[in-house]
Amino acid sequence: MSQEVAEVLEVPVYDLNGAAVERIKLPSFFKSPVRPDLIRRVYIALFTSRLQPKGTDPLAGLRTTAESLGVGHGIARVARIKGGLRAARVVQAVKGRRAHPPRVEKIIREEVNRKEKRKALLSALAAVASRDFVLKRGHVVPDIPLPVVVADDLESISKARDLRAFLEKLGLWKDVERAQTNTRVRAGKGKMRGRRYKKPKSLLIVVGEARGIELAARNMPGVDVVTYKELSVLHLAPGGNPGRLTVFTKSAVKGLEERLKGEVLQK
């Protein structure tokens, strides 16, 4: 069901000292109704489009000179290694072929209409302006209006210590600490395959132009930096769950307004 977000028309713009220096009027799409079902559908479509098809060698398990001994020997007529009785080629044999190997023809991509994709982005943007949705995702939310809008000077920060000092002034650093505390070791064999840790998502920083902040935030747990041109449901609703704690620069808000041209998602 559609859910209306709080009608926030204006939010303060903070400088690097954490002080509100002006107020900015939010674009109309921040008042769109939030559609979690539509967001999840588009998230799955975007996520599966990045998956790589898997397949096996057609001759896997069949590279052998084994032949069947035929009938009359009192044993099964499967292909057997010459000079012995060990079976080969068949599914149940050691080093035999796989019964149901992965196939490249398998459909692993979820298709979605362009209009649905656009509406899901509007809905996900509206969710970041709703305190209820942000809290539901488990973020530690400071007592300031959402979404958080910051002056464009933030884009030029290139040192992690400077970015941390700014986040502490606005009360956003506690959510980064939450991501660090909840980072854990993955169960199972994935530990050996380049995905040892499960890392929660924390702050999303949307900028008009990346001028160094991507370097400052690259080692912070769960923090992502993206330009308004590349912003998608993948960033705003990780896992298909809307309401990520998000910081916009002033130029990013204006860029999004131009990109979406004042659209509003209808019920």
Phi, psi (5° rounding) for residue 239? 75, 5
Q: Say how many C-beta atoms besides its own lie within 10 A of residue 128's C-beta.
A: 26
User: What class, spelled out in words, does domain 10-43+111-260 have in CATH?
Assistant: alpha beta
Q: pLDDT digits over 149-203, tens only?
A: 999 999 999 999 999 999 999 999 999 999 999 999 999 999 999 999 999 999 9
Give start and end residues of each alpha helix (H) in the chain. Answer: 36-48, 114-127, 131-136, 160-170, 173-181, 213-217, 233-236, 250-260
pTM: 0.84
3-class SS at 199? coil
Q: What is the pLDDT of residue 5?
A: 42
Tokens of 9: 């028309």
What is the reported pLDDT for 7?
A: 53
**Helices and strands (H and E) in the chain: how many:** 8, 10
Cα 211 to Cα 215: distance, rounded to the nearest angstrom = 9
On average, the pLDDT of the chain sits at 92
Q: Report residue 187 CA to chain centroid gap.
A: 20
| % of the chain residues with pLDDT over 70 | 95
Both tokens assigned to 80: 């057997």
Residues of the chain with CATH 3.40.1370.10: 10-43+111-260
| Type of residue found at 43 | Y
Is residue 1 pLDDT above 80, yes or no? no
Please answer whether residues 56 and 101 qualify as being in contact, where contact means their C-beta atoms are separated by less than 8 angstroms. Answer: yes
Cα separation, 109 vs 99, in Å, equals: 24
